[in-house]
Amino acid sequence: MAIARKDIALSFLRAASSGNARAACQKFVTPDFCHHNACFPGDAESLMHGMEENASNFPNKALDVKRALEDGAFVAVHSHVRLKPGDRGVALVHIFRFQDKRIAELWDVGQPVPENSPNKNGMF
């Protein structure tokens, strides 16, 4: 049975968020990978460096995946990330575009979890 693209995306996120961004990129991304995070140049090397620095600064970071959706060459992952214990965290959505079984392109958007919200449904 073939591995689903969403399982590859989840493996990439879990490895990258736990400090293994370089290995995750080497294993899961295409040679011409690009990303759209506005804080970094759009190449794999700069993203790996930023993820490694983040993991080093926040060794107790927690990634809690809420849902993962796959549609053809695209995968979307909705998650709750806390940089440290007790942190309210951020709601994140990562959108992956695949070429075959490798990640070719990545978008990410985030929203801090507010202390008080009028929305009784919550963010997750």
Give the pLDDT of residue 39. 86
pTM to 2 decimal places: 0.93
Residue 80 inside a domain? The answer is yes
State the residue range of the domain holding 79: 5-112
What phi and psi, each to the nearest 5 degrees, are found at residue 73? Answer: -85, 0
State pLDDT tens for residues 51-107. 899 999 999 999 999 999 999 999 999 999 999 999 999 999 999 999 999 999 999
Say if residue 1's pLDDT is above 70: no
State pLDDT tens for residues 12-30. 999 999 889 999 999 999 9
Residue 122 inside a domain? The answer is no
Residue 24 inside a domain? The answer is yes
Residue 121 inside a domain? The answer is no
Angle, helix 44-57 to helix 21-28, in steps of 10 degrees: 150
CATH of the domain at 69: 3.10.450.50
Residue 77 inside a domain? The answer is yes
The answer to whether the Cα torsion of 20, 23, 27, 28 is positive or negative is positive
How many folded domains does the chain comprise? 1
Q: In what order do the strands lie in the sheet with 29-35?
A: 29-35, 102-112, 90-99, 74-82, 62-71
79 within 8 A of 14, measured Cβ to Cβ: no
Q: Are strands 90-99 and 29-35 parallel, antiparallel or unpaired?
A: unpaired
